[in-house]
Each structure stands twice: as structure tokens, then as C-alpha cells.
A and B are shown apart, each in its own frame.
Chain A
Amino acid sequence: MFAFGGVGGDANMFRVGYAYEQVAKVRESLHMYLVPETEIGDAVG
């Protein structure tokens, strides 16, 4: 799916994306197609 926001509304898109990821467990259903999670964000942030 695709989400579109207003200029400067970046955080709202992350709110929706994060909420969806947390409740839908999409990663689990796709895990066989993805390499293991590396927490790249933690490494960068």
C-alpha cells in the first residue's frame, strides 16, 4: 500500500506505518523472503 501526506507531514506517515507494522505482524508473514533483521536503525541512531 502507499501513503501520501502533506508537505512537512512526514511524522504522520511514520505514525501510521509504525502502528500498522506493530499490529499486522507483516514481517513475520514475509520473514522467509527477508534476511534476518539487523537493527540497522539502532546502529545508525
Chain B
Amino acid sequence: VGFKPSRGLSPCEGLIFTSGKLDTVGLLTRTVTDASKILQEIIHQSIDGSHYKRYSLRQALSISCSSPYLGGLRIGIPSSLADLENVHPAKTSAFRNVLYLLEAVGADIVLAVDVSGAEEFDNLPLAFRNILLDTDMKMAINKYLSKLRTNPQNINTLQDLIAFTKVHPKEGYPGRNVAVLERALSTDPSDEVYKTMLAKEAWFAGEGGIEGTLRRHKLSILLIPALSPTLNCFAAKAGSPCMSLPMGKYPAGTDVQIDPRSGLVEVAPGIP
């Protein structure tokens, strides 16, 4: 189970940021109950927010893992996300079973929910989609490097980091390239693309994204069968929570798929 909480719930002290605006510390646990208990403890020890607010949230988390009954909870299923056009049939089948089970314990399933900003975001050129993160990354890495007290390789800027990565044999360049870092290096906050996307940020984080979708359809959460970088991006922009849950394992007879970059088996019978 993977869980990324609402921004501000988990402390970020000591984190090496990729983006100071988007990064949030999350949890990886074996069960939802484990994640809930660890998050309750993090909230308990947090100094952020009022004592009453922290207490209320801990109570809500505790209650949420006390009964499987979902009466009154509305779950939206987005249907037109480009990221979900080629979902493996085994995942589609498992997801259908998930919806059946959730409905059986009282949830209202709302199908074909439209996330209004998703298509617009998906149709943006890659440079537009990534410009805010890339610009943040450049600033965050430079800020981190400038604060180092010990710096034996004398890497003081993102440019130094790229140069070091290219020549140090243990970095595995060019097999492990520096394309993302070079994209970040080329950014400029005075660039028109950056300004345009900054102006649209609130729309993708709000009405065009997850918050607007939940509000329009009176939903508690959205549920999808497979990874959607677009929704992940919208959640990061809004600082809203997301959770990943296993749905079982690929059945016997599934064709084996190997990731060409890593050489690891991605899909095969018995793989979770």
C-alpha cells in the first residue's frame, strides 16, 4: 500500500526536494491499517496545526479502519483519461471486481466521471506540462547544494551535478542519462511558457482537476485501475492525498512483458 497524505500532514525536514511546492513525504506499508496507524503517530508528534485539529484527524483515521461499511460514501470512476486507454485486461477485470465489492459494502459508485482539465493537460506539449516541475527542480537542487557544509566533489550547482554525472563511472552515464536534469537546467522563470503554465496552475489544481471533479459530482474519492501520471500530477499540484492498493496478481496464461530499460519482468503470471 502506498499513501501520499495531504500536503502539510507529514513533516518535510531533512528532505532533498525535487520541488519545494510539490513534494510530500508518503508511506509504503503492507496494509492500510499499518499506514493509518503510522500516519496517526506522525500527526500526533507533529507540531503543525492546532491540537484539536490533529486530534480530530487521528480520530477520523482510527474510525476509518474500524468498519468495512461504506454507506453514504460516493466513489467516482473517471472514464476518459488518456493514461487509461491501454490498461491490461487483467487489471480491468480485477478493477470490475473491486467496484462490485465496494458497492456490496454500501458505497455508491458513480461511473463515467469527467475530469475536465485532464484532456487539456494531456494535449499540452511535454515542455509545457513539465515546465513548473523542471523550474522548481533547478531552484531546489541549487538551493540544496548551496547549503552543503561538506562538499568533497565540489558540486555547487545543477550544472556541476550534470557534469559530474556524465564523467563519474559509477553514475552509469549514458545508460542512465541526465535528460531530466538538462531540461531543468534550461528553464528560466522569466520564460513565457513558465508564466503561462503558472497562470493555469490553479485551474489544474482546482476546478479542472480533482477538487472540481469531486465537488461537481458530490464525490468523496476518485478511483482508477492503473497509474495515471495526469491525476498524480493534479494531486501533487493541489496537495491532495492519493493511495495505491494492490488488486491481486496476474492470472495464469498472462503474456510475459519485460521492461526494455531495466530488463525486469513487469507483467507475468503471479506478479502482483
Contacts and interface: CB of A to CB of B under 8 A. Distances in A.
Interface of A: 1-24, 26-27, 29-30, 33-34, 37-42, 44-45
Contacts, number: 185
Given A2-B231, A19-B105, A11 B32 contact: no
Contact of A16 (B9, B221, B228): B221
A10 B6 contact: yes
A41 B35 CA distance: 7
Interface in B32-55: 32-41
A37 B65 contact: no
Interface string B63-105: 1110111100101000000000000000000110110011011
B245 A20 contact: yes
B7 interface: yes
Interface of B: 1, 3, 5-7, 9, 29-41, 57, 60-61, 63-65, 67-70, 73, 75, 94-95, 97-98, 101-102, 104-105, 107, 210-211, 214, 220-228, 231-232, 234-235, 238-249, 270, 272
A37 B224 contact: no
Given A6-B211, A8-B6, A16-B220, 14 more contacts: A1-B225, A2-B232, A4-B231, A4-B234, A5-B241, A7-B6, A7-B211, A10-B60, A11-B63, A13-B243, A23-B102, A26-B247, A29-B248, A29-B249
Contacts of A16: 70, 73, 75, 102, 107, 220-221, 223
A29 B242 CA distance: 24
B101 A24 contact: yes
B98 A11 contact: no
Nearest to B44: A45
B56 to A, nearest CB: 10
Given A19-B105, A33-B272, A4 B242 contact: yes
B210 A23 contact: no
A13 B38 contact: no
Main secondary structure of the interface of B (DSSP, over half): mixed
Nearest to B104: A23
Contacts of B33: 18, 21, 41
Contact of B32 (A2, A8, A17): A17
17 contacts: A1-B245, A1-B247, A2-B226, A2-B242, A3-B223, A5-B222, A7-B238, A11-B63, A12-B221, A13-B3, A13-B243, A14-B61, A20-B98, A21-B32, A30-B248, A38-B30, A40-B34
A41 B36 contact: yes
Contacts of B5: 10
A12 B240 contact: no
Contacts of B40: 45
Given A4-B240, A23-B104, A44-B37, A18 B65 contact: yes
Contacts of B35: 14, 17, 41
Contact of A37 (B30, B98, B221, B243): B30
Contact of A23 (B68, B214, B223, B234): B68
